[in-house]
Amino acid sequence: MGREMSSSERSKKTSPTRVQQVPVGRIRPEDGLGRKRDRDGHRELCRSIEQFGVLTPITVRPAPDNPKEYLLIKGQGRTLACQMLGIEKVPAIVVDDRFAETEKVQQFLVENVARLRMRPIERALLIAHARQKGEETTAVAKRFGVSYSTVRRLEAQLDGASKGEVTALRASNLSLSLHAVISRHVPEEEERIGVIGVISASALRATDLEALFVGMGWKQLMELGAEHREQRLRLLKWACDTLATIPKAPPKERLRQLALKLPVKFTADVASLAKAVSR
């Protein structure tokens, strides 16, 4: 039976740029870290984390007196918010004592390395969150190395995204261009989450999806009401799966071939797919 590694051994094996999911219950403040917090500001932070999750990792180091615990170096507000919201794990950069002593390195790790390792959706959410907090568009664009127009586009695209939709986006491999098409054609939140689940399992491009929504008459299908939501999702899943088998051709021709293959019944079960991606 193997022995537990000491904190020093864990430090040697810890990459200073690696982001890990650390149990919130195993984190305790570094001596002298505790400070008073602005109540309104902390409530806003809690609301943000509840909707978007923790976008910027905290920084911790292995506790020298307990191999199962971590000392919090940076991110007290985010850690407390997770405790209050009942979030079990938080993204954290685990550093050793050498890096913990260097504030300049800490700043580099938190603000640069973690961001570079983000998925596109995580970066987009962080950009949208920065704009929500009032940061100037030009400053956000410079900090993230994107264009002014990209910041404005992401801000508009993710404006008003619900907690369920953000969760669905994080759970899928959906590109932001596909999400933009879905947002234009599916205004109702619960249905949009289901559509995200269907589209993320396909290999459609944004141009194909745009043509598909128009060709299917999705707007008219939605007018049938929520009681026909599952039938719409079944139809959409069939269309995505079938389009993947049709050879490359202009969108109009591919949709014509798709219409010729239209079955009388749709047996694909999409309820479990929509439910899984919205968790």
What the block records as the tokens of 77 is 């507000």
Which of the residue ranges 107-121, 170-184, 186-200 has the most confident prediction, judged by mean pLDDT?
Answer: 186-200
Task: Convert the pLDDT of each residue in 206-218 to its tens digit.
Answer: 888 999 999 899 9
User: For 220-243, what is each residue's pLDDT tens digit?
Assistant: 999 998 899 988 999 999 999 898
235 in Cβ contact with 216 (< 8 Å): yes
Question: Is 63 a residue whose pLDDT tops 50?
Answer: yes
How many Cα neighbours within 13 Å face the side chain of 181? 20
Q: What is the distance of C-alpha 234 from the center of its chain?
A: 25
For residue 21, what pLDDT band results from cuts at 50, 70 and 90? Answer: very high
In this predicted structure, what is the pLDDT of residue 272? 45
Confidence of residue 19 (pLDDT cuts 50, 70, 90): confident
Least confident of 19-33, 45-59, 73-87, 257-271: 257-271
Give the model's pLDDT for residue 37.
52
Nearest CA-CA partner of 199 in 160, 223, 169, 219? 169
Phi, psi of 267 (to 5 degrees): -100, -5
CA 226-232-238 angle, to 5 degrees, is: 160
**Residue with token string 């094996």:** 13
* Nearest CA among 139, 121, 120 for reference residue 130: 139
Instruction: Estimate to the nearest angstrom the gap between the alpha carbon of 85 and the chain centroid.
Output: 18
Answer for the pair 15, 98: CB distance below 8 angstroms, yes or no: no
The whole-model pTM stands at 0.53
Whether residue 22 has pLDDT greater than 90: yes
Taking only the tens place, the pLDDT of each residue in 138-165 is 888 877 777 888 888 887 777 767 777 7
Mean pLDDT of the 180-203 span: 86
- Give the strand pairing for 70-74 and 58-62: antiparallel
**Contact present, 63 and 35 (Cβ < 8 Å):** no
Question: Which of 105 and 191 is assigned the larger pLDDT?
Answer: 191
Q: What percent of the chain has pLDDT over 70?
A: 74
pLDDT score for 29? 79
In the numeric block, which tokens belong to residue 108?
């580099």
Gap between the Cα atoms of 150 and 105, Å rounded: 29
CA 240 to chain centre: 23
The dihedral formed by the CA atoms of 123, 124, 129 and 131, expressed in degrees to the nearest 10: 110
Helix (H, G, I), strand (E, B) or coil at 131: helix
In sequence order, which residues have a C-beta less than 8 Å from that of residue 77 and are 6 or more positions away?
37, 41, 42, 45
pLDDT at res. 1: 45
Q: Once rounded to an integer, what is the mean pLDDT over residues 57-77? A: 86
